[in-house]
Amino acid sequence: MLVPEDRYLLTISGRDSPGLAAEVFAAAAAVATEITDIGQITIRGHLVLCIEVQLRPGATVEQLAEAVEASGVEAARAVTVEISSSTERAEPEGRRLLVTLVSRVIEPGSLGAVFSTIAACGGDVERIVRLGDRPVQAYELLVRGTQHEELRASLGRLAVAESIDIAVQRAGLHRRAKRLIVMDADSTLLKGEVIDRLAGRLGIEDRVAAITEAAMAGELDFAEALRERVALLAGLPLADIEGVADELELMPGARTLLRTLQRLGYLTAVVSGGFTQVIAPLLAELGIDHLAANELEVVDGVATGGLIGPIIDRQAKAEALARFADEEGVPVGQVVAVGDGANDIDMLQVAGLGIAFNARPIVREAADTALSVPYLDAVLFMLGISREEIDAADQDG
C-alpha cells in the first residue's frame, strides 16, 4: 500500500502518565489535519505510543518537530519523541494470520526461534499481545506477509523442537464467530478414562486399560475394542456405576473454560465413547447443552456386558458434532472441537477449529492445533480470550 509522502510517525516512549497523549495530540494539531493511524502499549508503566499524522498542505516535518518541542511534552513528561517518515518502511502484503504461543514457560530462545521462522517465511509481526501468564504463558502475534500453510508447517516443526504449543489461524470475523464447542469426555473434559474406573471396581483395571490405550492410539478399531472392554464389565452392580459417577474429576481449568464460554453465549456439547449413566449427572450440573455417549445395558441392577443402541465411535462423533451444529443453526465452520484420542480425529477435522488436547501424535498431526499443557482453559487462549478478560468476567459475576 502506498503511503503519502506527507505522513509522519511520532513515536513516544517513556514513563506513562495521565494526559500525555492529549498533549501530543494538541501539539500535532498545529500542523496536522488528520490522525491516520495510532497504536499504544504499556508494560509495567512504560509507554510506547505511535501516532501517524497527515500534515496540512504546505506544512513540513520541521514544523511538526518544532510544534512538539514547543509543547514541552518531552521535558515535562520525561519521554522521548521520535519523528520518522511513514514511507521509510513498506507495509507487507498478504492476509493477516494469528499465531498463538502457549507453554508453561516461554524462554527467550524459543521466542527468538519463532520470530526467525516467521521472518524466514517472509512474514512480519505487526502486533504482540500477552494473553496470559498463569497457569501457563500465552502470547498472540498478528503476522502479515506470509502464506498460512507455509507458516503453519514451519512453526509446527518448530513447536516439536522447542516443546511449545503454536497455533496458526487466519485472522478475521470467522474466528470471533465460533459459537459451539464440542468436547470429548475421557482425558479431555474429565481426568482419566471412565471405563478404566469402572473396571477398577471389578479388579480388572489393568486388562481394560491396556485395551483402552491401544484404541486411543489408533492401534485397535474403537468399536471392537469398546465391545471387548464392556464385555469384561459383566456383573458390575449399578451401585458401583453410580459410585464412579460420584467420583469423576474434571480436568484442571474445565470449569473456567465452560463458565467463560457460556458467558460469551457459546453452546456446549460432549461427544464421548464413555457412558451416559456415568457422565450425564455431572454434565447436567455443568450446564452442557448436548450429549452423545454410549449406554451400558443394565438388567436387574447389574451390567450385562452389552450396550444399548448404536456405538459412539470415531464416525459417530463427527456425525454428532454436525447434528448438534445443525440443530442449533451453527455452521460447522463455527464449531470448536477438542479431543485427545484417535476416535476424535474425524470430529477434529470436521470442526472449524480442531484442538488436540494432550493427545497422541496421530491426533496432533490431524488437528488444526494442539495443546500439551494440562489445563483445559488454555483453549481460551486459542480463541484470543485473555486471562485478564477471564478474571474480569469472574469478578463481575
Neighbour count for residue 397 (Cβ, 10 Å): 5
The Cα-based distances of 234 to 226, 231, 238, 305 in angstroms read 13, 6, 11, 4
| Active-site residue, selected from the candidate residues 6, 16, 165, 186 | 186
d(CA 137, CA 125): 19
Give the SS3 label for residue 328.
helix
Rounded to the nearest angstrom, the gap between the alpha carbon of residue 278 and the centroid of all alpha carbons in its chain is: 29
Told to judge if 346 belongs to the known catalytic residues of this protein, a careful annotator would answer no
* The three three-digit cell numbers of residue 351, written as one number: 470442526
| Active-site residue, selected from the candidate residues 184, 196, 344, 368 | 184
Q: Residue 112: left (phi > 0), alpha (psi -120 to 50), or beta?
A: alpha
Residue 70: its H or E element = helix 61-71
- For residue 127, the cross-strand partners are 142
* The three three-digit cell numbers of residue 24, written as one number: 501530543
Nearest residue to 326 via CA among 184, 208, 180: 180
**Running DSSP on this structure, what letter comes out for residue 87?**
G
Told to judge if 186 belongs to the known catalytic residues of this protein, a careful annotator would answer yes
**Running DSSP on this structure, what letter comes out for residue 56?**
P
* The three three-digit cell numbers of residue 297, written as one number: 445395558
Catalytically annotated residues: 184, 186
